[in-house]
């Protein structure tokens, strides 16, 4: 049975008053040909009453008016009572959400929430609805959808009232123990969730936690990069007559990125004509900013060596699979994927004495702090080199 939770109504800034909403399940007096009566839900509030039919039919003899449930010894009693319990729980979630959010809940609004496929009090539905009404790039949309689905896999229904610090901790543990996600992946999932919590609070929805008090962790991780010798080893393999035909295309794009810093999304936006001159002009997919970089001799040699480069394409996933095979062939034990090429460009640029300010411009970073990550990586290498003096 649902308790009479008071609902807050707005009157004045400093004054609120409470009203009761009584909800009761009962069976209708009318009995059909099968000897069953339909279960109804009666909702009373502020002198108004509505009777709502529920898609459940029972023999009136088996109905317990006091418990508002089917008697336990009745056939299918467990299933029927579970359905009524779920409806009661959903109603309680709606009422709690409206009360905590200082929103008025009328009978009509309650029924609207019950019928809605995207209820306002469900965090997952809120995330999906907000995402569907946002303008964002396909890649960003895909990442957000992936995070929503991951959260839905953890828990299929999440009322805002359930979002507590304990909930976040349990989600982190699930991501680590069940999904086997890396710390950086977990941090990204938590940051995504916190982003939507902030949006919900901005819209006036009450949430039990302050997102600024939750530590998501770092999404930077350990940036794998190839040193100059390793890049040269890949280049020698690329230009040799012994390279496997299935390796040529993926390695060509990877090396082009090693010498230009371009992301795979930007490389895929270019045609062969775009890379035949001394400069490359393009719009950065991630920031939508127009960008220009000069083509060095190394990058040009990569393009010239394979006529299908910037004509034939493979998916990023497929190229990453091929790159793992290439690393094994070339004796490189690092786990490489396409973005390693961009990291390799940055670190090798600095190893060669390039200025961090120039690197920022080449890589299209709006904030120097982003570029400074690579400086810190190089400094870490310099510190560990002291062990070269050990016998």
Instruction: Give, for 336, the enclosing helix (H) or strand (E).
Output: none
Residue whose tokens read 């809605």: 116
pTM above 0.75, yes or no: no
Mean pLDDT of the chain: 87
- Residues 268, 379, single domain; the answer is yes
Residue 49 has phi, psi (to 5 degrees) of -140, 140
Instruction: Give, for 99, the enclosing helix (H) or strand (E).
Output: helix 77-100
The rounded distance, in Å, linking the Cα atoms of 75 and 62 is: 9
- Residues 83, 141, single domain; the answer is no
Assigned domain for 2 exists = no
Assigned domain for 299 exists = yes
- Residues 206, 85, single domain; the answer is no
Instruction: Provide the CB-side half-sphere exposure for 256 (13 A, CA).
Output: 27
- Residues 337, 378, single domain; the answer is yes
Model confidence pLDDT, tens digit, residues 289-342: 999 999 999 999 999 999 999 999 999 999 999 999 999 999 999 999 999 999
Cβ neighbours of residue 373 under 8 Å, at least 6 residues apart?
220, 223
- Residues 132, 246, single domain; the answer is no
Model confidence pLDDT, tens digit, residues 269-301: 999 999 999 999 999 988 889 999 999 999 999
Asked if residue 84 lies in contact with residue 68, where contact means CB atoms within 8 angstroms, the answer is yes
Domain count, the chain: 3
Asked if residue 19 lies in contact with residue 40, where contact means CB atoms within 8 angstroms, the answer is no
- Residues 181, 245, single domain; the answer is no
Confidence class for position 119, pLDDT limits 50, 70, 90: low
| The pLDDT of residue 28 is above 80 | yes
| The pLDDT of residue 349 is above 70 | yes
Could you say which of 82, 98, 115 is where a domain stops?
115
- Residues 149, 199, single domain; the answer is yes
- Residues 233, 360, single domain; the answer is yes
- Residues 249, 353, single domain; the answer is yes
Asked if residue 133 lies in contact with residue 153, where contact means CB atoms within 8 angstroms, the answer is no
- The listed range with the strongest mean pLDDT (51-55, 112-116, 137-141, 252-256) is 252-256
- Residues 128, 102, single domain; the answer is no
Assigned domain for 365 exists = yes
Q: With pLDDT > 70 as the criterion, what percentage of the chain qualifies? A: 90
- Residues 181, 311, single domain; the answer is no
Domain that holds residue 177: 123-213
């Amino acid at each position: 049975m649902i308790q009479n939770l008071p609902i807050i109504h707005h009157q004045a800034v400093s004054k609120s008053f409470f009203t009761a909403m009584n909800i009761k399940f009962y069976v209708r007096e009318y009995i059909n040909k099968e000897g069953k009566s339909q279960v109804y839900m009666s909702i009373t509030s502020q002198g108004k009453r509505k009777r709502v039919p529920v898609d459940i039919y029972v023999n009136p003899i088996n109905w317990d008016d006091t418990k508002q449930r089917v008697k336990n010894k009745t056939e299918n009693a467990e299933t029927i009572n579970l359905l009524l319990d779920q409806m009661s729980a959903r109603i309680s979630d709606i009422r709690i959400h409206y009360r905590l959010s200082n929103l008025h809940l009328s009978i009509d609004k309650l029924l609207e929430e019950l019928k809605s496929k995207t209820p306002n009090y469900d965090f997952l539905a809120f995330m999906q609805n907000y995402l569907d009404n946002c303008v964002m790039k396909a890649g960003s949309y895909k990442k957000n959808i992936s995070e929503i689905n991951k959260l839905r896999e953890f828990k299929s229904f999440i009322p805002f009232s359930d979002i507590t610090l304990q909930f976040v901790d349990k989600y982190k543990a699930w991501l680590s123990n069940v999904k086997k996600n890396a710390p950086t992946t977990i941090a990204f999932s938590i940051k995504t969730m916190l982003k939507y919590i902030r949006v919900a609070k901005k819209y006036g929805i009450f949430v039990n936690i302050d997102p600024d008090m939750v530590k998501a962790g770092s999404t930077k991780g350990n940036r794998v990069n190839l040193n100059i010798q390793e890049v040269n080893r890949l280049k020698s393999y690329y230009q040799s007559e012994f390279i496997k035909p299935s390796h040529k295309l993926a390695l060509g794009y990877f090396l082009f990125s090693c010498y230009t810093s371009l992301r795979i999304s930007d490389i895929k936006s270019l045609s062969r004509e775009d890379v035949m001159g001394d400069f490359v002009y393009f719009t950065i997919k991630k920031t939508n900013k127009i960008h220009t970089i000069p083509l060095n001799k190394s990058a040009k040699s990569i393009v010239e060596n394979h006529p299908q480069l910037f004509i034939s394409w493979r998916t990023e996933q497929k190229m990453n699979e091929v790159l793992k095979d290439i690393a094994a062939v070339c004796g490189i034990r690092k786990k490489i994927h396409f973005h390693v090429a961009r990291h390799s460009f940055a670190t090798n640029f600095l190893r060669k004495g390039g200025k961090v300010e120039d690197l920022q411009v080449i890589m299209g970073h709006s904030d120097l702090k982003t570029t400074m990550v690579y400086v810190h990586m190089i400094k870490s290498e310099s510190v560990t080199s002291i062990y070269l003096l050990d016998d």
